Amino acid sequence: MRKPQSYLALCLDPVHVGTGGYRLGRVDMSIVREPATGIPKIPGTSMAGAVRAYAELAKEEDADLPEIDTVFGNTKAQGMLRFYDVEIVLFPVSSGLGTIWVSTAERLETWLMNGHDSEGDLVLPKEPPLENKVVAVKGITGEKVIQMGWLLVESEDISQPGVKISLPKSLAFVKRLVMVSDKLFYHLVNDHLEVRTSVKINDATGAAETGGLFTYEAIPRGTILGFEVAIDSRRGNGGVNENKLEKLLEKAFAGLKVLGIGGMGTRGFGRIEILKTGAVDGGEQG
């Protein structure tokens, strides 16, 4: 069985994958979060469901593509593909310098580090920054204090260089990048999610319902996401051509850019664009 294939994706719109129903908190309709860290994510099941729907549309246009049930499974049998949860890799925060993308050492190394440390063009510090400080990785020099949203955070230099990373060409728009601690990343992400207010409309009258005002949050436009898809060749009776399978996924991913994922689609939410694919280190395994 092959190692998972890794993908990076750009949020073209805010993305809302809700927890279902209303909850007490700062917003009425919150988004899904990782239980252990509290960081927003998109469940693998949500990604798999959206990709399958767009794959079905692609199959209708091209009968030569693999059978959908073989690839994605059905109620009787599992499919060949396994989608893992989608996590935030780079998160955009406004500042006086322009947009700054923030991340952590683990996220940068997991998604952006090359197979060999010597092949990167950006250097990460050997040790992660202190909880209340940031390390400028790209595009920020000579700043002792960096404004990020409502925070003023002290910036420290890289005293001991560590691993190197590379931003793919598709991320050329990321002009400023800083690394923060896991604790600060949690606060920056959750305090800078997009929050909107809307109102329920009465279908009969076309007017707003009394008491129908509600708020909801979303992962903001410009966020870079990362996820993996594993292919289990033992399923599907071994009869699915690999090139055709990749073509099916490519066409399905195109649907994410046009029709999106998650809720609030009628309010302009949900579009994401797949930016990069690449095999995770490891190659083949038995």
Which of 142, 158, 180 terminates a domain? The answer is 180
113 conformational bin, left if phi > 0, alpha if psi -120 to 50, beta if neither:
beta
Q: Which of 159, 180, 201 is the last residue of a domain?
A: 180
| 196 and 86 in a common domain | yes
C-alpha closest to that of 226 among 111, 101, 104: 111
Do residues 47 and 260 make contact, with C-beta atoms less than 8 angstroms apart?
no
Same domain, 174 and 113: yes
Asked if residue 205 and residue 139 are part of one domain, the reply reads no
- 175 and 100 fall within a common domain: yes
Give me the DSSP letters along 230-258.
EE-TTSGGG---HHHHHHHHHHHHHHHHH
Classify the C-alpha dihedral 36-13-226-171 as positive or negative.
Answer: negative
- Indicate whether 186 belongs to any domain: no
Q: Give the residue numbers spanning the domain of 148.
A: 95-180
Q: Is residue 286 part of a domain?
A: no
The reply to whether 153 and 226 lie within a common domain is no
Dist CA 164 CA 143 (whole Å): 22
Which of residues 136, 156, 180 is at a domain's end?
A: 180
Residues 222 and 256 in one domain: yes
Mean pLDDT by 10 residues, the chain (286 residues): 85 91 71 94 96 96 92 88 96 94 95 60 86 92 90 87 87 94 95 88 81 88 96 72 90 96 89 70 39
Give the model confidence (pLDDT) of 202-253 as tens digits: 888 888 887 788 888 999 999 999 999 998 877 765 568 888 999 999 999 9
205, amino acid identity: T
The answer to whether residues 129 and 181 touch, using CB atoms and an 8 Å cutoff, is yes
Chain centroid to CA 144: 30
Number of domains in the chain: 2
Looking at residue 245, which CATH number applies to its domain? 3.30.70
